[in-house]
């Protein structure tokens, strides 16, 4: 049965961590727009340099650019049984574009991971990123759990940038809660619990709403 998930939540809510668990549970691809954009930055094209400046300042990539990336990705054969979107949509226009993309497919199941701003700042202060593959890590060893590469502080996790990212989230992304909140497939999850408990809560909510 096709399963199309959308992960919502502020920076540091653990969306990437949960996505890695859930993709194995349901055998659907984890589509992280953040990872795709970081790959673009490493490519060194003019667009990549533009993306890098926006990411390092804590801003958001334009709806048009990121939507083109997602449309292309959802056309791949591995999404036939479903997908897990992490980092898209982030604005109402993106959400409207996604609704058009999934016409004729299974309805979107929305996972909204809720976390206080104080906890967001605390978590991001300890977050590292793999210098090789770009995976996030919090409170882990010196090597990446995915590829074994070295971990370094994320450029966009400095305190002032974190506060700016939260401001951007409140202004542009929180309205998605109103957009999706009345849908029967909207699931609100407490993100302050232990990661395994959050995973269990998500699985229960998704199975209830499928």
Catalytic (active site) residue 25: no
Residue 190, φ and ψ in degrees, nearest 5 = -75, 110
Q: Where are the alpha helices (DSSP H) in the chain?
A: 15-26, 33-43, 46-56, 63-74, 92-101, 117-125, 159-168, 175-181, 195-209
Residues 6+ apart with CB under 8 A from 189: 111, 112, 113, 114, 198, 201, 202, 205
Q: Are 124 and 47 in contact (CB under 8 A)?
A: no
Paired sense of beta strands 108-114 and 136-138, if any = unpaired
> Looking at 15, 23, 38, 123, which residue is catalytic?
15
- Which tokens hold the place of 168? 């951007």
> Looking at 24, 154, 183, 210, which residue is catalytic?
154
> Looking at 23, 73, 123, 127, which residue is catalytic?
127
> Looking at 23, 73, 90, 123, which residue is catalytic?
90
Residue 8, φ and ψ in degrees, nearest 5 = -115, 160
CA distance 150 to 91: 33
Q: Tell me the CB-side half-sphere exposure of residue 59, using CA atoms within 13 A.
A: 9
Catalytic (active site) residue 23: no
Distances in whole angstroms, Cα of residue 22 to Cα of each of 49, 80, 103: 32, 17, 23
> Looking at 23, 38, 123, 165, which residue is catalytic?
165
Catalytic (active site) residue 208: no
Catalytic residues: 15, 90, 127, 154, 165
């Amino acid at each position: 049965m096709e399963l199309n998930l959308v992960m919502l939540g502020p920076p540091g809510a653990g969306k990437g961590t949960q996505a890695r668990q859930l993709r194995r549970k349901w055998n659907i691809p984890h589509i992280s727009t953040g990872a795709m954009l970081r790959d673009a930055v490493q490519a060194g094209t003019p667009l990549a340099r533009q993306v890098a400046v926006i990411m390092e300042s804590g801003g958001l990539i334009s709806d048009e650019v990121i939507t083109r990336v997602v449309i292309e990705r959802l056309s791949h054969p591995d999404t036939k049984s479903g997908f897990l979107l992490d980092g898209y949509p982030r604005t109402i226009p993106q959400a409207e574009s996604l609704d058009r993309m999934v016409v004729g497919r299974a309805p979107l199941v929305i996972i909204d991971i809720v976390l206080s701003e104080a906890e967001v700042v605390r978590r991001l202060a300890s977050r590292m990123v793999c210098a090789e593959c770009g995976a996030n890590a919090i409170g882990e060893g010196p090597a990446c759990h995915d590829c074994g590469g070295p971990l370094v502080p994320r450029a966009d996790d400095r305190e002032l940038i974190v506060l700016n990212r939260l401001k951007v989230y409140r202004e542009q992304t929180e309205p998605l809660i109103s957009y999706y909140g009345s849908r029967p497939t909207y699931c609100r999850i407490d993100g302050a619990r232990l990661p395994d408990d959050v995973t269990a809560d998500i699985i229960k909510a998704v199975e209830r709403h499928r």
